[in-house]
Amino acid sequence: MALTFLISIILLALCLVGMAISMLIKKDGAFPNTEIGSNPRMRQLGLRCSKEEECAACSRSNACTSNTPN
């Protein structure tokens, strides 16, 4: 049991170190932008985030309330 836990902690640490190294090596030093709202490629494909779609639907029907979370 303890050996399995130790191996899983070591593997997790290796993954985190690998991600950190890849961020240092990359030109921009950041993860790729996968958020739909600000990704130009997803916008070209016509994909929108659910919050944006909800706001568009509410503005058409005037059914939105001001207490929607950000």
pLDDT at 62: 60
> What are the respective helix, strand and coil percentages of the chain, to the nearest 5?
65, 0, 35
What are the angstrom distances between the C-alpha of 46 and each of 17, 26, 36, 37? 36, 28, 10, 11
pLDDT at 58 over 70: yes
List Cα–Cα distances, 42 to 4, 35, 49, in angstroms: 41, 9, 10
| Domain encompassing residue 57 | 33-63
Which residue would you say has higher pLDDT here, 56 or 31? 56
Determine, yes or no, domain membership for 41.
yes
Q: Tell me, yes or no, whether 57 lies in a domain.
A: yes
Number of domains the chain contains: 1
Residue 40 lies inside a defined structural domain of this protein: yes
Average pLDDT across the chain, whole number:
79
How high is the pLDDT of residue 15? 95
Residue 19 lies in a domain: no
Judge contact between 30 and 23, C-beta under 8 A: yes
Reading the block at residue 34, the tokens are 């996968």
What value does the mean pLDDT take over residues 17-37? 77
Average pLDDT over residues 10-21: 93
